[in-house]
Chains A and B, each alone.
Chain A
């Protein structure tokens, strides 16, 4: 065996031992350390920011939900989330965007259809409907809608639930989050939190 091939062979032996140590330290020990810190110091966040309505856990504050019947039809008495491309809609085990391109005919048809549906259910003219109401998010799990889209739904919620517009409006105002630190990102409304507040109001 020549010196060169012996050195070359030795490199693989070094590499293998290094990878075994790295797997133990960076794969296992590091992950367990962070998990330990997370579970001890920040358990609510580390476990998914779960939220309750009454006693029951009804979801995560960070993960959007559908407010539809079993067939996927929008339930008018709940604030509606954005369209979703995750599974059959808000399937948290299958996050995904639509990945439809900017000229894709399927996307154009979907936007038109969603617009028409919202215009009818909310009794507004199609040009007042904000973009996020008719487009699917990147994750398919966007927990938010824009304050404009929440605003658009106030009238419908009030009518179907027999509440006053002011009561519903107040819920929306309370649920509206401003930009992070006042300037990062966009103002949003968390739909699940808003609907939990709505459920409590209705008693």
Chain B
């Protein structure tokens, strides 16, 4: 187990270099001069642009730019944005709030999704099951920004139960509504995954055996059915944590949250290599770690899975 974990962590090194190299190259390849674009329709003197290009190493070939970035990385310097801020400062501002939002969303979707999915699976074909299926279908098919605007309008603007946007302090109470919006689509998937898995496992041999042994229904459902049904759900959650961290652009925009998604989006538009790569590098690490965690959880959930040396 330890050996396996160590091996997986070592694999992160080539993944890190490969991902940063590729991303840097892609940002580098975007058309246009990022410095000139900063000034919009009102261009400064050509000499000003030229000097700024030198200052940000944009006059260098791609490989030199990348090596300067990597060199700085190992000295703890992630470069600066075109507005002169250290990228590390920007990250320190964006990641905590996105992490809180993503974890809150993950909490909502997993608790509510598994619960609803379990009940629906146990009562297959009943009214509750049918409504759960309809609601989840609706959530999957309606785009997030529609759900976001509707919830914001109803609960924040009309009813006043929540703040319309998240303030600069961003307490958890203000993040509840955005987290629900962010969780909505994944919630629907989890309901469907759990339901399918539960209803399948209900007919499995080990469940019949457990029931035949005279175990209470509660024990059969929680220990045997649910635990075995969670394997696909956990796989989904692991991948989802990554997408919640990265893909919250829409939700962040609606609730004016200064998080990872919006920052990366802006940086890509500006062609700000160091910012994009630094953020993506952290996300890659998050993805890899989440996947590792999922793989380890498999073993805990399903006794048939063991990791050999």
Do they bind each other?
Answer: no
Residues of chain B touching chain A, judged by Cβ–Cβ distance below 8 Å, are: none
Residues of chain A touching chain B, judged by Cβ–Cβ distance below 8 Å, are: none
